[in-house]
Amino acid sequence: MDAPPINLVDIPRPAGYTDEVLAAQREFALANGGKLGERLDVLFDAPVDAGAEALGLVRRNVNAGHFRIFKGNLAEVFAHPVQLDILRGIAAREPGAKLVSGVRMRLVENGKLSSSRLFSDNIVLVERQGRVEVLAVCEVKAGFKGGQEATEQIFEWIEGRITDGSQLVIPRGSRFIDELGNVTAAEREIVLTWRPGRRDVPAVTGLAGAERHLITARGASHLGANSAMGVAPNVTSHVLPISSAELDYLAGTLLGRITRTPRPPALPVDALR
């Protein structure tokens, strides 16, 4: 059964979430929110009610699934500075490393390649002598149980799912970001094969041994040392400067006040530090 729509005006404001903090986080999200609308074309293209627009409340009720997507996209915006820090740390010892978004996987199932599925929020990779090595995998979770959610996702992919011949897919348009924050986009789809068995096939290594970085909302439950999921111990936890409840409230204010004004110029990624 589908969850009922979320009435944006009913989302509770967390205790201690001041106007100043809300305004700063809203400004940062709007200035850096290039990913906010991903997978939400229907929501954003819907006709605007003139009366609601006049009051500054373009929408009140939002589909619960769309709200979760928007909240996750919002968490990604706040996680970007954290992931840039991860990249810079790796690039200091691995020159040429880049942060890559939108990576997907095709798994070998019953002897055939599956359709592509989202692999991770972002990865860090480097090219060496014609081979690509994955150095880090990042997971961003917006919910209160963010650590456990990320644990399960990593376990699902790493423990026995990636078999010889599986493909790492970087879709056309995926962003490559270097340690200075420079961005380029993939001009074509890039396909890399895990243990291809042939030297003439572009290969990817490091999927099993790459660093794992879990990025969760402040106050989220975290990955325990004795996790039942049995994930490798090289997992580093990072905390966003915003809680899950604050993400809910901020998402509600942003969705409730969508206007047709241009997006302001991007702020520096260090603006919230």
Same domain flag for 39 and 154? no
Based on the structure, what is the number of domains in the chain?
A: 2
Give just the sign of the alpha carbon dihedral 243, 214, 129, 91. Answer: positive
175 and 142, same domain (yes or no): yes
What does the pLDDT look like over 209-222, one tens digit per residue?
889 898 989 986 55
E-assigned strands of 183-254? Answer: 183-185, 190-194, 203-205, 211-218, 235-243
Output the pLDDT for position 22: 95
Residue 27 in any domain: the answer is yes
* Distance (Å, whole) CA 114 – CA 159: 17
Q: What is the pLDDT of residues 173-182, one digit of tens each?
A: 999 999 999 9
Q: Residues 117, 186: one domain? A: yes
Q: Which residue has the tokens 């967390």?
A: 14
| Three-state secondary structure of 240-261 | EEEEHHHHHHHHHHHHHCCCCC
**Average pLDDT of the residues of the chain:** 79
Q: Kindly state the tokens that stand for 131.
A: 């081979």
What confidence score (pLDDT) does residue 91 get?
Answer: 97
Q: How far apart are CA 106 and CA 109, in angstroms?
A: 9
Residue 68 and residue 103 share a domain: no
9 phi/psi in degrees, rounded to 5: -75, -10
Residues spanned by the domain of 30: 6-75+244-256
> Which of 230, 234, 214, 233 lies closest to 222, judged by CA?
214
pLDDT, tens only, 144-159? 655 555 555 665 666 5
Q: What is the CA radius of gyration of the chain?
A: 20
Query: 201 and 117, same structural domain?
Result: yes
State whether 129 and 155 are in the same domain.
yes
In eight-state DSSP terms, residue 8 is G
Output the pLDDT for position 8: 85
pLDDT tens digits for 21-59?
A: 999 999 999 888 766 655 554 454 444 444 544 444 444
| CA-wise closest residue to 32 among 237, 269, 249 | 269
The model carries a pTM of 0.78
In a domain, 65, yes or no: yes
In this structure, the answer to whether residues 62 and 147 fall within a common structural domain is no
Selection from 62, 54, 46, 31 nearest residue 253 by Cα: 62
C-alpha to C-alpha distance for 270 and 243, rounded to whole angstroms = 18
Checking if the pLDDT of 186 tops 80, the result is yes
Helix (H) or strand (E) segment spanning residue 128: strand 122-128
- Pair (182, 142) in one structural domain: yes
SS3 of residue 258 by DSSP: coil
